[in-house]
Amino acid sequence: MRKFTTLIVLTASWLAWSGHYDGLLLSFGAASVLCVFYLLNRIGLAALDPRSAKTFLKMVPYLPWLLREIIKSNIDVAKIIWQPKISIDPAVREIPATQETALGLVTFANSVTLTPGTLSINATPGSLTVHALEAAAFDGEGFSEMDRRVTGLEN
């Protein structure tokens, strides 16, 4: 039943995005929907998990916060790059990750990487290895706040 929902979602998104409704292109659309469905089935993701759908909905209020962090750190890194003499203090550290689902951990790791100046280089359940352009990035509440917010997106 859930697999059927996936097929419907795929078909609906193809129809909404293509804007072409003649026979030839519709058959291409059907073929690509079936292709994607076959691949999803192969990796065992064809049945939509309602928990992931809920997490995606909860991301809507999280994104503006992330956007503000991204803009702030973009300005910091741009300043470093335009310095006449580059002065940086790179560091690698483990930070705790309290997410329970794979999707939550991926969201946290991606958020860290999206924020310029910090880069997740390894992710395991429970902790994230982070490379920072400035060791000062590990001071303060930055990472624990992001971790808390992403964990809040789960369940």
The contact set with other proteins (CB under 8 A) reads 16-17, 19, 67, 70-71, 74, 77-78, 80-82, 85-92, 109-110, 113-123, 131, 133
Rounded Cα distance between 149 and 152, Å, is 5
CB nearer to other proteins: pick between 87 and 140: 87
Tell me which residue of 123, 99, 98, 122 sits closest to 51, measured CA to CA: 99
CB nearer to other proteins: pick between 67 and 102: 67
- Smallest separation, CB 120 to other proteins (Å): 6
Query: Based on C-alpha coordinates, what's the Rg of the chain?
Result: 20
- Copy the structure tokens of residue 62: 């999280």
- Smallest separation, CB 108 to other proteins (Å): 11
